[in-house]
Amino acid sequence: MAGEPPGRGRGDRPDGPNHPDRPDWFDDPDLGDSDTQVMGRAAVPDLDLAEDLGEPPQIDPAELAGLQGDEGGASTAIRRVLPLEDEASGLVARYLFPTERYRGEWKRHIISLGWPITIGVLSTFALGWLSGLATRWVGAGWLALVLVLVWLGVMGYVAWRVADWHFDRFILTNKRVMKVSGIITRKVAMMPLLRVTDMKYEQSPLGRMLNYGTFVLESAGQDQALREVPYLPNPNELYLRVVEEMYEPAAVEARMGGSPDESEEEQRAGDS
């Protein structure tokens, strides 16, 4: 046929009567000749060209990671909540019942030891200075002994405060928040998440610089065993984690690899 390229006739086109890939709607009696001509010649893609192009390219998501930032190259996806811990420490595990799901534990910020450590450092310098003066006095050996005993007492106080800081933990589970403290006399305070009616955290200017704050929890009851927890590190992270556990427990279960359905059933059972 005139006007057709060599080696390709009317029957070889997709709109041709003998083409194996001819669509069914070409033979629709409701379509007129003009409609068939327009749809057949203008709207049908060239199948031979599609076969030549092959499958679309597969793009690895890692290759697009660098394109998700701003003009300066910084990533716009900011992770505000750190990964969840897998297991509780031996100090905390003894206070969790078997069906309770552990979410995390936090020590107080190191700034809470600022005053005891300062006292220890100043007492050490004072001991050295006073001992030097005492050596100049005849028969002042008893004074040096007293100074050493006082210094040992001060260092014992510092060691006690450091040990107390080590055993002081704030714990979050899927059912409650707890605070464990004390070395000789152990204190365990807790508040169910279902009873938390208000929660806030406060940060002083120094707390904003060093990233610590004071958590304040309010509940419906009058007497609260756990209300104010000072010197908690990463208060924004902890705030988001507690709020997510209260309002989106299924999302937390999904990140932990658990069953979201079980978490929703437990929440409905607690609400009832």
Domain locations along the chain: 11-53, 92-107+170-271, 114-165
* Orientation of helix 114-134 relative to helix 141-167, angle to 10°: 170
- Global pTM value: 0.61
In whole angstroms, what is the distance from residue 39 CA to residue 91 CA? Answer: 75
In whole angstroms, what is the distance from residue 167 CA to residue 112 CA? Answer: 13
Burial class (CB in 10 A: 0-12, 13-18, 19+), 216: middle
pLDDT in tens, the chain (272 residues): 445 455 444 445 555 555 555 555 545 555 444 444 444 444 444 545 445 555 655 666 655 454 454 444 444 444 444 555 568 888 899 999 888 889 889 999 999 999 999 999 999 998 888 877 777 776 667 777 888 899 999 999 999 999 999 999 999 999 999 999 999 999 999 999 988 888 889 999 999 999 999 999 888 766 677 888 999 999 998 998 898 888 888 877 777 665 555 555 555 544 44
Backbone angles phi, psi at 170, to 5 degrees: -110, 125
Taken as a whole, the chain contains a residue count of 272
Neighbour tally for 173: CB within 10 Å? 21
Which fold, 92-107+170-271? PH-domain like (2.30.29)
